[in-house]
Amino acid sequence: MSRTALLAAAMLATTAVPSMAQTPPVQKLDGLVNWVYDYEQGRKLAGQTGKPMFVVFRCER
Amino acid sequence: MNGINLDLFQFEFDLTWMSFFMDAENRIYTRYGGRDDSSPESHLNRDSLLATMRSALSLHKLQDVLTSRLEPTGRTVRTPEQIPTMRAMLAKRKNKCIHCHDVKVASLRHLRNQDKLKRHMVFTYPTPANLGITVASDRQSVVRDVKPGTPAARAGVRRGDRIVRAEDHRVLTLGDLSHVLEKTPDPGRLSLELRRNGRAVPVRLDLPAGWRKSSDPSWRESLHVVGPGCGLWGRRLNANERRRLKLDPGKLALKVTYIWGPHTRKAGIRVGDVIVRLDGQARDMTIKQLNAHPMLNKAWGDTIPVVLRRKGRKLTVQMTFPQQPAD
């Protein structure tokens, strides 16, 4: 794995979608990154691992 | 955006992509994202993202989060669902997904319902271009160019300067600077700390009235809230089609492909018509730019002339916008 890929893997801890009643299903992304689709879950993971979060908002319209 | 804390995640909701580098305590290291009028990806690229990731990792080791007075705390939870006009918007949809631009549309509609909406409010999250600064594509805090006669030029900002701080806010990216600019009044003043040849150079920019506006906001999804649209969709004629109709290549020539506005039909505009002049505007435009013109310049209930080409004939119709928004 390249230096770049190592950095990205370490950073891509979460993407933000919260838990709410009536929240539509998450449109999951394909790829090499294990995205977390729940912000609070991402925060918990970041706290446990000591890693920073890379929180991404993407909109498809 | 369902359930997102808008107090914590503040960004340009007309965008389609935005990111934050944060710690587990809701604190932000830096923001990455943003665009200018030219394209959605004008400031998104691999090199600048990697540079930002590296910086964020370094900052994380030092726990060096942003602490300026402009930083949100996230302690007050405010969600898109709490915007009063959002409920009505979602009621019309099968899929209850709240898009980024929905947040801005709902917010502007709420202001409109309160008679507080001003047209300039659509110009949110200005970029360095509004100051006269073009930033480098790989390192977004570095000034690549300064446009003469602009606030940045008058303040003495130079090519090659690195923007270290805006007000008391650390700047690593366009997203960081844009966050500060969003909080800067119109007219207003902006203090920048620059790094030039290893020295710290403080400058102060005087920002004239209207500095937040940009020349082509037609990409902004929320634009339709601030003024009436043409109620139609279309496409630019290509060179061959223009030649056939003897239309100037540099002039407006949009073929109507779809009509949804009752006022558009009432004006007599039909699918297949070619619009060659609208409200006196004959410069070449995209369909988004055409629709943006009345949204930015006309009031509900106004009437404008539209010049068309239909089956080789030229005709002028009058389009009267609805007295009030349909939503």
Q: What is the ipTM of this complex?
A: 0.89
**Dihedral pair phi/psi, residue B37, rounded to 5°:** -70, -20
Min Cα separation B95/chain A (Å): 7
**H helices within chain A, ranges in order?**
3-11, 39-49
Burial class, B184, CB count within 10 angstroms (exposed 0-12 / middle 13-18 / buried 19+): buried
Query: Is B50 close to A7, i.e. CB distance below 8 A?
Result: yes
Residues of B in contact with A16 (CB under 8 A): 4, 9
Q: What is the pLDDT of residue A22?
A: 60
- Candidates B285, B290, B307, B120; CA nearest to B214 is B120
Is B291 strand, coil or helix?
Answer: helix
- Within 8 A of A10 by CB-CB distance, chain B residues are 57
Of the two residues B268 and A26, the one the predictor is more confident about is: B268
Q: Do B186 and B208 form a contact (C-beta atoms < 8 A)?
A: no
Cβ–Cβ below 8 Å for A44 and B22: no
pLDDT at B75: 81
Question: Which residues 215-254 of B are in CB contact (within 8 Å) with A?
Answer: 221
| Nearest partner of B24 among A17, A39, A19, A6, judged by Cα | A39
From the list B5, B22, B97, the residue facing A53 with the nearest CB is B22
Nearest CA in chain B to A10: B57
pLDDT at A60: 67
Which residues are CB-neighbours of B227 under 8 A, at least 6 positions away?
B119, B294, B295, B296, B297, B298, B299, B300
Task: For residue B51, give the chain A residue with the closest CA.
Answer: A4
- For B151-210, write each residue's pLDDT tens digit: 999 999 999 999 999 999 999 999 999 999 999 999 999 999 999 999 999 999 999 999
Identify which of B4, B19, B97 has the shortest CB distance to residue A18. Answer: B4
Strand, coil or helix: B46: helix
Instruction: Lowest mean pLDDT of B70-84, B150-164, B250-264, name the range.
Output: B70-84
What pLDDT does residue A29 have? 77
Give the separation between CA B150 and CA B160, rounded to whole angstroms. Answer: 17
- Among B162, B117, B121, CA closest to B138: B162
Query: Could you give the CA distance from residue B80 to residue A18 in angstroms, rounded to a whole number?
Result: 12
Q: Which residues contact B67 (CB under 8 A, 6 or more apart)?
A: none
Amino acid at site B219: W
Contact B17/A at CB under 8 A: yes
Question: Which pTM does this prediction carry?
Answer: 0.89
Where residue A14 falls among pLDDT bands split at 50, 70, 90? very low
B98-156 confidence digits (pLDDT tens): 999 999 999 999 999 999 999 999 999 999 999 999 999 999 999 999 999 999 999 99
- Cross-chain residue pair A59–B16, CB shorter than 8 Å: yes
Token representation of residue B27: 């604190």
Bond before B187 cis per omega within 30 degrees: yes
| Position B277 pLDDT exceeds 60 | yes
